[in-house]
Amino acid sequence: MNRQEITKITSQLVQLGEDQDELNYWLQIYDDLPEEKQAMLYINLKQELETLQKT
Amino acid sequence: MNRVENEQNPNRAETVPPREGAEVSAVEQHRELQQLFENYKGEKIDAVNTETQTVLQSPNKRLEAATSIGYTPEQIEQFKQEQGIDNKLDQSRQQIEALGVDTRTRIESAKTSEVVAETQPVQTEQTENQAEREKTVEQFQEKRGNILTNVLTSEITSNGLDLVPFAGSGKMVVESITGKTLAGKKMTGKERIIHGAMGAGSLALDFTGIGEAKDMAIIAGKSVGLVEKVGVKLAEKGSVKGARIFLATSKFMSEHPQLTARAEQFAEAQIQQQIKDIRDYRKQAA
């Protein structure tokens, strides 16, 4: 759940049609989020990527 | 005609390579299928022409072949006249020609609509996939929006910036602003960030001094400044990470002025309504 991984996931999401501006914002604030929220965000993005890759 | 129909699917299956999901648009696939069909149609029309000519020439060839078994041309001519063979041959020729024309016409016209009809399920499937993807994106954006609203609200409340004496219930204000847009539509990811910041920021309206003057807009045209001020206050209170999140959000809002302006309109209406409700309640209580 490091920043590099989050960056990779968001990049893949953008390729699948996600909003680049929105995801850039999340990347920008990621390091300042509480750990619990970082984990929630990571799960959220990863699950979205997996779901979009299936459709 | 049946042969044409029966041969169509195997032929297409051999020629159209399997394609990978969303990479090929419906339009491209349709165009490709149509091109394949046009090629196939051309081949079949050529075949019909050739076979028609072969059948048309075969009676003459058979009569010509009769000379090889001993009949003279005169005897053949006499036989043809007695039996009315020329008339029958003319009729057969006309029927064969008509059949050839009919076959060509059917190939040229009727089958195109079938190809179009066959591509429609592909397009429908892709539209359904697109709708499913949009729904997925929206659901995950909504969850992210809730994470952000939670973070921003927590930063304000845990640092004692949530006074909101005008509205009574800060939670109601936040929820009323973050839940939907001015048009009552589902929000995009960007809108969720902006509405979340505005909802959370409204908790600190009193603390920042923004919106205090009577008969003036409370948040309209001021939300970027409000969120930035909250960031500064948080920094003063030592919440550096919280401050950075508010400042990044303020920057994001200023980079999307139209979305921010629309959200402000909506937030203004919601806050004004909350204030009115509280005043009405106080009047009734008095």
What does pLDDT average to over chain B? 78
Number of domains in chain A: 1
Name, of B114-123, B133-142, B163-172, the range with top average pLDDT: B133-142
Kindly state whether residues B105 and B168 are assigned to the same domain: no
Kindly state whether residues B169 and B272 are assigned to the same domain: yes
The answer to whether residue B103 is domain-embedded is yes
Residue after which a domain boundary falls, among B78, B105, B127? B127
The answer to whether residue B147 is domain-embedded is no
Place of tokens 């697109």: B130
**Average pLDDT in the B81-104 region?**
81
| pLDDT value of residue B3 | 44
Q: Which residues of A touch B127 (CB under 8 A)?
A: none
Question: Percent of chain A, pLDDT > 70?
Answer: 98
**Average pLDDT in the A1-30 region?**
93
B66: left (phi over 0), alpha (psi -120 to 50) or beta: alpha
Number of domains in chain B: 2
Nearest to B151 among A28, A33, A47 (CB): A33
Distance from CA of B139 to the nearest CA of A (A): 9
In order of A55, B121, B137, the CA distances from B125 in angstroms are 11, 6, 18
Residue B95 has pLDDT above 90, yes or no: no
Residue from B188, B192, B185 nearest B138 by CA: B188
The answer to whether residue B37 is domain-embedded is yes
What range does the domain containing B250 cover?
Answer: 159-281
The answer to whether residue B30 is domain-embedded is yes
Kindly state whether residues B118 and B166 are assigned to the same domain: no
Query: What are the φ and ψ backbone dihedral angles of B204, each rounded to 5 degrees?
Result: -105, 10
DSSP state of B159: T
Kindly state whether residues B172 and B100 are assigned to the same domain: no
Q: Which residues of A touch B188 (CB under 8 A)?
A: 19, 22
Does residue B86 or residue A1 have the better pLDDT?
B86
Q: Residue A14's closest chain B neighbor by CA?
A: B137
Question: Percent of chain B, pLDDT > 70?
Answer: 73
| Whole-angstrom distance, CA of residue B194 vs CA of residue B269 | 16
What range does the domain containing A12 cover?
Answer: 3-54
Does residue B4 or residue B271 have the better pLDDT?
B271
Distance from CA of A39 to the nearest CA of B (A): 11
Query: What is this model's ipTM?
Result: 0.96
| Whole-angstrom distance, CA of residue A38 vs CA of residue B3 | 64
Chain A, 1 to 55: residues with Cβ < 8 Å from chain B are 16-19, 21-23, 25-26, 28-29, 32-34, 37, 40-41, 44-45, 47-48, 51-52, 55
Distance from CA of B127 to the nearest CA of A (A): 12
The answer to whether residue B55 is domain-embedded is yes
Burial of B204 (0-12, 13-18, 19+ CB in 10 A): buried
Residue B147 has pLDDT above 80, yes or no: yes
| Whole-angstrom distance, CA of residue B163 vs CA of residue B46 | 86
CB under 8 Å to B186, separation ≥6 — which residues? B138, B180
CB under 8 Å to B2, separation ≥6 — which residues? none
With an 8 Å Cβ cutoff, are B248 and A18 in contact? Answer: no
The answer to whether residue B99 is domain-embedded is yes
Q: Give the pair of three-digit tokens for residue B137.
A: 């994106």
| Whole-angstrom distance, CA of residue B73 vs CA of residue B151 | 107
- pTM (2 d.p.): 0.61
The answer to whether residue B62 is domain-embedded is yes
Kindly state whether residues B193 and B119 are assigned to the same domain: no
Residue B249 has pLDDT above 90, yes or no: yes
Rg of the Cα atoms in chain A: 11
Alpha helix stretches (DSSP H) within B159-204: 170-178, 189-202
Three-class SS of residue B209?
coil
Does residue B152 or residue B99 have the better pLDDT?
B152
- Are the C-beta atoms of residues B43 and B8 closer than 8 Å to each other? no
In order of A53, B32, B106, the CA distances from A43 in angstroms are 15, 40, 58
Nearest to B141 among A22, A29, A32 (CB): A22
| pLDDT value of residue A34 | 96
| Whole-angstrom distance, CA of residue B198 vs CA of residue B264 | 8
